[in-house]
C-alpha cells in the first residue's frame, strides 16, 4: 500500500516514515499534490508551523478538502491535525477546512505542552488495542471543532481539556505524535493502514 507523506519543508520526517513502514506501508514523501492524491492514503505530519504548512498546500486546499470529503483516507498528526481546520491563531492563511472550528493557543501556564499524557479513547477503530493510551505531545495549539460529535478522544493538560482525536468520514487526526508514542503509537498507525486496506 502506497501512502503519501507530505513534506512541508521543515523538520525531520524520518521517524514518521519509519512508523508507516513498520505498519506495512510503502511511503512516498512528497510536495506534489498530484502524487499525494493518487496514493492509497494521505498523511499530514506534525512538523513545522501552520503558515508553512498552508504554503505547502500550494493553493490546493479546496481540492484536498474535496478529496477527503469524497472518502480519501487521511491521518493528520499534530500540525497535520491543525491543517484540517480553516485557520489558526498561530499565523495567517487558510487551511484545508475539512473540519469547521478553530485552532487556538493553549491557555495553560506552561506552553508548549511537552511530554506524555493520558488519552481518553473511544471505541473508534483508530484505538483498537491501545487502551489505555499514553501519548507523547509537543504542542502549543489545540483544535476546537464546531461539532463536538467529531471528537473521538479527549485529554487534559493542567486546567485544559481538549480534543485528543477527531474524525470526519475517513479522515482521522490527533494532536500527539504517534511516531513518538512507543508501541501504542505504532499500533495507531497500523490501525489506520488496516482500515485503509480493508475498504
Average pLDDT over residues 48-75: 95
Specify the pLDDT at position 47: 78
Q: What is the pTM of this model?
A: 0.95
Question: What sign has the CA pseudo-torsion 103, 58, 171, 11?
Answer: negative
Nearest to 3 by CA among 198, 196, 199: 196
Q: Which fold has domain 2-198?
A: Rossmann fold (3.40.50)
CA 179 to chain centroid: 11
Higher pLDDT, 12 or 43: 43
Nearest to 139 by CA among 89, 68, 198, 187: 89
- pLDDT category of residue 48 using cuts at 50, 70 and 90: confident
The residue annotated as part of the active site, out of 74, 113, 143, 179, is 179
Average pLDDT over residues 141-150: 96
Average pLDDT over residues 94-107: 97
SS3 state of residue 181: coil
Specify the pLDDT at position 59: 94
Query: Poorest-confidence range of 10-14, 124-128, 188-192?
Result: 10-14
pLDDT tens digit string along 124-145? 999 999 989 999 999 999 999 9
User: Is residue 113 among the annotated active site residues?
Assistant: no
Examine the pLDDT at 157 and tell me if it is beyond 80: yes
Percent of the chain with pLDDT over 70: 98
Query: Poorest-confidence range of 44-53, 85-94, 154-163?
Result: 44-53
- DSSP string covering 104-157, please? EE--SSSSSEEEEEEEEE-SSGGGTT--SEEEEEEESEEEEESSGGGEEEEEEE
Examine the pLDDT at 189 and tell me if it is beyond 80: yes
The residue annotated as part of the active site, out of 74, 78, 113, 143, is 78
Average pLDDT over residues 20-37: 96
Q: For the chain, give the mean pLDDT.
A: 95
- pLDDT category of residue 170 using cuts at 50, 70 and 90: very high
User: Is residue 74 among the annotated active site residues?
Assistant: no
Amino acid at each position: 500500500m502506497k501512502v503519501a507523506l507530505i513534506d512541508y519543508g521543515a523538520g525531520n520526517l524520518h521517524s514518521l516514515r519509519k512508523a508507516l513502514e513498520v505498519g506495512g506501508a510503502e511511503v512516498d514523501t512528497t510536495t506534489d499534490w498530484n502524487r499525494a492524491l493518487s496514493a492509497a492514503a494521505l498523511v499530514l505530519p506534525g512538523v513545522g508551523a501552520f503558515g508553512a504548512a498552508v504554503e505547502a498546500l500550494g493553493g490546493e486546499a479546496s481540492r484536498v478538502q474535496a478529496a477527503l470529503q469524497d472518502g480519501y483516507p487521511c491521518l493528520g498528526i499534530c500540525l497535520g491535525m491543525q491543517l484540517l481546520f480553516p485557520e489558526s491563531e498561530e499565523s495567517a492563511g487558510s487551511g484545508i477546512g475539512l473540519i469547521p472550528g478553530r485552532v487556538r493557543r493553549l491557555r495553560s501556564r506552561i506552553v508548549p505542552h511537552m511530554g506524555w499524557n493520558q488519552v481518553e479513547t473511544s471505541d473508534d477503530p483508530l484505538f483498537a488495542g491501545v487502551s489505555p493510551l499514553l501519548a507523547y505531545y509537543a504542542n502549543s495549539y489545540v483544535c476546537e471543532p464546531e461539532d463536538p460529535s467529531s471528537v473521538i478522544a479527549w485529554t487534559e493538560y493542567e486546567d485544559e481539556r481538549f480534543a485528543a482525536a477527531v474524525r470526519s468520514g475517513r479522515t482521522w487526526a490527533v494532536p500527539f505524535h504517534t511516531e513518538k508514542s512507543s508501541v501504542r503509537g505504532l499500533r495507531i498507525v497500523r490501525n489506520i493502514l488496516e482500515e485503509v486496506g480493508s475498504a
